[in-house]
């Protein structure tokens, strides 16, 4: 469904990585906007098992993942600048 990059390369910049992230967000939003019944199975690549998760499960999982990675980024930032936001 989405092109997942293998990771940052030496040629990429912060600007290109942020642009790629924003393009992925826009693509995901276009897909989710078509969902009218969150109990329906979510799209998934072929060969990933018999029962796809519901659209609701996918949305909740993505919220969890974004929160988790934002937390990781915050920990790294704290290690760099020492600021804890308190």
- The model's pLDDT over 22-78, given as tens digits with 9 standing for 90+, comes to 999 999 999 999 999 999 999 888 887 778 899 999 999 999 988 888 887 788 878
Exposed (0-12), middle (13-18) or buried (19+): which is 9, by Cβ within 10 Å? exposed
Q: Which residue has the higher pLDDT, 27 or 8?
A: 27
Q: Is 27 helix (H, G, I), strand (E, B) or coil?
A: helix
Residue 53 CA to residue 74 CA, distance in Å, equals 30
Residue 42 CA to residue 67 CA, distance in Å, equals 21
């Amino acid at each position: 469904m989405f092109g997942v990059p293998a990771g940052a390369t030496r040629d990429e910049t912060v600007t290109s990585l942020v642009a790629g992230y924003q393009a992925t967000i826009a693509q995901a939003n276009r897909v989710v906007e078509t969902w009218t019944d969150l109990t329906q199975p979510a799209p998934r690549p072929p060969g990933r098992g018999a029962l796809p998760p519901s659209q609701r499960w996918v949305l909740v999982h993505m919220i969890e993942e974004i929160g988790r990675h934002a937390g990781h980024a915050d920990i790294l930032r704290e290690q760099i600048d020492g600021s804890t936001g308190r």
